[in-house]
A and B are shown apart, each in its own frame.
Chain A
């Protein structure tokens, strides 16, 4: 009896002697416990492999090559996903469309995070009239449903940006327009979170300490307070990638998005509903890829939310 108790004590001592886990390791362990999030990461990796690796199999010229003699062909050995209304290969287009859709998702969130964090941080940190002004503006933007705002802005900026060439590939100016407008219509929620965080953090002692040592305002905002509110920004940013991909699909579906011949998963679906009966392969493949991507990102976001929550209980085995 006593021997077992003693061995328990020794075990406990050994455990205490072991290096404590760093916060990063704890987050990683919690994330791994979230099975769906791990599935999401694996899926996202495969989707990335599909749309980036596929570029080595097909060239972009092939994806945009029209051949009206084979229009609306069903899936076959030569064209595994079939061909579209002007005879382009849908498999190749989903590969290149995936690149653009994922690109739009990521960069729209970069715009969103920059705007949202700046506005939220300034409003929360300075307070007073800056806060009221910025928050009234945020509220005004919040009150217009996002899809309506997106459509109006897509119309506003449409065709005003020329085609750009990056790394030997030309991007239709509409890609940049879509990235900007999605970013500029989705930052409001993030700005509110950041503001709330700043409001509570700026009263803390470490900020007071930074003030007394004469740290500049910008250093306090970006080096002292912002790193402490990074967790909600990461979670909200991750989920925003999913929303941005869906938003792109919606405006492209309505014909105001990225202009052909540049393919995106969204604009491949434009007009597909005219072919529900005759050519279901037109919308099944790009549509499923959108669902799969958005689902995986949502899983990852959910996993990150649990993993980054400092109140979550950690059981490490």
Chain B
């Protein structure tokens, strides 16, 4: 097992290199980060020349990638524009844990920018994921046990609809019903945008109130897919021989379902959830945009639209690392839960 883990980690290293190179090349050509640096006025040509020299944007792509990766404190930069590189660089590079500084919010370290937003995203995504798992287990098991009943057909149809819906549609519908129309009808209504009401301040109560609609939207969309999955897994397990054996021994139905069937049926769910966990870090780009939630997804969109390569690369690499490691952890948990699986 230890050897398997070490091998997987060693395999992950070149993978992360490929990803970073791919993304870096894409990002370097997405636009002009200097365009907005002049404030309201267009950036002056001499400023543009100076800034791109100081930020290293005039260097060829591979040099920029190397600087990003291992830093430039071993090289010298030409700060005053006399053609002679004299000032030693200060960046340490990603490999030494320095993601550089943002280009648009100047001087601010990428790590700080990300750390500011990450908690906001997590308080939205973790409850959402927990609710999704609970609901889809409940719904999936229930409709598998009553296969082809009216409830099962209704649930299947509804989950198809939820699965086919872009998240912004359910978000807009729920905002329209619970935010706009409830207000119109004089019912207690839910806030639609932001994280808290600026008039009230950032209290726990306010944040919870503002979390309801985003979490509701994400739950509808994600639980639809998950519950279909749980249902089909349950149906498959329920027709296994060991379930018949358990029934034949006279075990109570409850024990058969909870102890034997559910345990085996929920194994594949571990994989699905494991693959989704890194996306929690990334936040729901679309959901956060609609509900104006100040999380990672919004951060990504904002900085991508201004071609802020260091921040965008920082977010993307964080997700990629999270994906690679959560896959590894999923595999390990899976092997631990299912003794039939052995890695060598």
List residues of A whose CB falls within 8 A of some B CB: 36, 136-137, 139-141, 143-145, 147-148, 151-153, 155-156, 242, 246, 249-250, 253-254, 256, 269, 272-273, 276-277, 280, 283, 287-288, 290-291, 294-295, 297-299
Asked if B26 is an interface residue, CB under 8 A from chain A, the answer is yes
Q: List 29 A-B contacts (CB under 8 A).
A: A140-B15, A140-B18, A141-B22, A143-B15, A143-B323, A145-B282, A148-B319, A151-B285, A152-B316, A155-B305, A156-B29, A242-B164, A246-B166, A269-B172, A272-B172, A273-B171, A273-B172, A273-B290, A276-B180, A283-B169, A283-B172, A287-B168, A287-B172, A291-B161, A291-B165, A294-B164, A294-B165, A295-B161, A298-B164
B30 contacts across to A, CB distance below 8 A: 152, 155-156
Q: Contacts of A36 on B, CB cut-off 8 Å?
A: 157, 160
| CB contact under 8 A between A254 and B164, given known A140-B18, A148-B285 | no
Bound-state Cα–Cα, A290 to B170, Å = 12
Q: In this complex, which of A140, A156, A249, A280 has the most chain B Cβ atoms within 10 angstroms of its Cβ?
A: A140
* A-B contact sample (10 more), CB < 8 A, given A152-B304, A250-B286: A136-B15, A143-B323, A144-B320, A144-B323, A145-B323, A156-B29, A242-B164, A250-B285, A254-B285, A283-B172
Q: How far is the CA of A143 from the CA of B20 in the complex (A)?
A: 11
Partner of A144, one of B161, B168, B301, B319: B319
Please count the residue pairs between chain A and chain B whose beta carbons lie under 8 angstroms apart in the complex: 116
Question: CA–CA, A254 to B165, complex, Å?
Answer: 16
Q: How far apart sit A167 and B15, CA to CA, in the bound complex (Å)?
A: 45
Would you call B274 an interface residue if the criterion is a C-beta within 8 Å of the partner chain's C-beta atoms?
Answer: no
Are A291 and B180 in contact, CB atoms less than 8 angstroms apart? no
CB neighbours (8 Å) of B324 from chain A are 143
Residues of the B chain whose Cβ atoms lie less than 8 Å from the Cβ of A288: 169
| From A139, A276, A287, contact of B15 by CB (8 A) | A139
Q: Is B163 an interface residue (CB 8 A)?
A: yes
Residue B300 lies at the interface, judged by CB distance under 8 Å to chain A: yes
- CB of B192 within 8 A of chain A? yes
User: Which single member of B14, B192, B282 contacts A148 (CB below 8 Å)?
Assistant: B282
Do the beta carbons of B301 and A254 come within 8 Å of each other? yes
Q: Smallest CB–CB gap between B278 and chain A, Å?
A: 8
Contact A276 B282 (CB under 8 A): no
CB contacts (< 8 Å) of A249 on chain B: these are 166, 168
Minimal beta-carbon separation of B65 from chain A (angstroms): 16
Contacts of A145 in B (CB 8 A): 278-279, 282, 319, 323
Choice from B26, B166, B192, B305 contacting A156 with Cβ under 8 Å: B26
CB contact under 8 A between A276 and B179, given known A144-B23, A291-B164: yes
B15 x A148 contact (CB < 8 A): no
B175 touches A (CB below 8 Å)? yes
B126 on the A face (CB < 8 A): no
Give chain B residues whose Cβ lies under 8 Å from the Cβ of A276: 172, 175-176, 179-180, 192
Give chain B residues whose Cβ lies under 8 Å from the Cβ of A153.
Answer: 26
A264 to B: closest C-beta gap in Å: 13
Query: Which residues of the other chain, B, contact A141 by a CB distance below 8 angstroms?
Result: 22
Closest Cβ–Cβ distance, residue B164 to chain A (whole Å): 4
A147 CB contacts on chain B under 8 angstroms: 285-286
Contact partner of A290 (CB less than 8 A), chosen from B160, B166, B180, is B166
Report the Cα distance A297→B192, complex, angstroms: 31
In the bound complex, what is the Cα–Cα distance between A46 and B149 (angstroms)? 30
A250 to B290, CA, bound (A): 11
What separation, in Å, do the CA atoms of A287 and B161 have in the docked complex?
13
* Assembled-state Cα–Cα distance A43/B176 (Å): 27
Give chain A nearest CB distance to B18 CB in angstroms: 4
Q: How distant is A61 from chain B, measured CB to nearest CB, in Å? A: 29
With contact pairs A155-B304, A287-B169 given, residues A253 and B286 touching in the complex (Cβ less than 8 Å): yes
Q: Is the CB of B19 closer than 8 A to any CB of chain A?
A: yes
In the assembled complex, the CB of B214 is this many whole angstroms from the nearest CB of chain A, namely 13
Considering the chains assembled together, what is the distance between the CA atoms of A147 and B300 in angstroms? 11
- What are the residues of chain B within 8 A of A143 when measuring CB–CB? 15, 19, 320, 323-324
- Bound: A15/B38 CA distance, A: 84
Residues of A within 8 A of B300 (CB): 148, 151
B31 within 8 A of partner (CB): yes
In the complex, what distance in Å separates the CA atom of A144 from the CA atom of B315?
Answer: 11
A152 to B18, CA, bound (A): 16
Residues of chain B with a CB closer than 8 A to A156's CB: 26-27, 29-30
Contacts A136-B14, A143-B324; is A290 near B169 (CB within 8 Å)? Answer: yes
Q: How far is the CA of A140 from the CA of B175 in the complex (A)?
A: 37
List residues of chain B with CB within 8 A of the CB of A269. Answer: 168, 172
